[in-house]
Structure 1
Amino acid sequence: MPFIRTAVKKGCSAARKKDIVHGIHQALIDSIHMPEDELFNLLTEYEPDDFFYSRTFNGIARSDDLVVVEITMRRGRSDAMKKDLYAKIAENLQKCAAVSPADIFIFTHENDYSDWSVGNGAFAMNIVQQRG
């Protein structure tokens, strides 16, 4: 179950926020085969004066509309799956929310089941072990 944190510039409309979240979610379903009901995306807004970033890092021309996508997920996805995920997020956000691919900054954190509790204070490793 990936947990997503998405940051957008303050003033982003509610409809665009929803489109961004949907685009990320669909990319996770399509590329890493995440179940549809595993939607956990905490979207926050940043003030332009509170987020400093290079508009030219790595030769990419970024605007003032940077979208940051931080994905925390269980270890085990191949580099090919991640490459596909990043490409699909960029494609979906461009198509569904008019976000330029140059303005999408994505990174992942990977950990194990023992690092999660997804409800009722239950240790996720116990749930995985019970399922077999």
Structure 2
Amino acid sequence: MPLIRIDIVEGRSDDQIKTLLDTVHRAVVEAFEVPEGDRYQIVNEHRPSRLIVEDTGLGIPRTQDVVVISITSRPRTEASKTRFYQLLAQSLKEHCGIEPTDLMVSIVVNSDADWSFGHGRAQFLTGEL
């Protein structure tokens, strides 16, 4: 946990996607201080006409390398979120060649009762986690 969905334009190789996933995971581990083995990631690839990420009036140019990251998570501090955004942008540039202008992130917060990792139980509520 957190649950991370990554939307990209199709065309990247399996190795490029692995590097992308690993880079995102390292940023999550560092910024949110989650255990290394706490990894839930889903990649969705879209034809170019099926992923539209416009600039919202901020003057941010986008390319076909755009990455949209949606995170569902327990509450995080503003400081850890800000750290995550910065670290992620730097790391994606360094390890994947993705410009910070091609990154969009959204975090949706939920509570402990909103998670079940299996067996029909809410492990945060039962004390298993």
* CA displacement at 1:70 relative to structure 2: 0.6
1-side partners of 2:59 and 2:96: how far apart? 24
Deviations along 1:58-110, whole A, 9 cap, x unmatched? 121211221011110002x1111100001111111111111111001101000
1-side partners of 2:7 and 2:47: how far apart? 10
What's 1:78 paired with? 77
1-side partners of 2:109 and 2:46: how far apart? 25
User: Is structure 2 residue 119 aligned with structure 1 residue 120?
Assistant: yes
User: Is structure 2 residue 92 aligned with structure 1 residue 93?
Assistant: yes
2-side partners of 1:106 and 1:47: how far apart? 20
Structure with the higher fraction of residues in helix conformation: 1
What are the ranges of 5 or more consecutive residues in structure 2 without an aligned counterpart?
Answer: none
Please give the TM-score of this superposition, normalised by the length of structure 1: 0.90
Aligned residues: 129
Deviations along 1:23-72, whole A, 9 cap, x unmatched? 11000111110100011100110111112221474121211221011110
Please give the TM-score of this superposition, normalised by the length of structure 2: 0.92
**Stretches of 4+ moved more than 6 A in 1?**
none
User: Identical aligned pairs, as a percentage?
Assistant: 29
What are the ranges of 5 or more consecutive residues in structure 1 without an aligned counterpart?
Answer: none
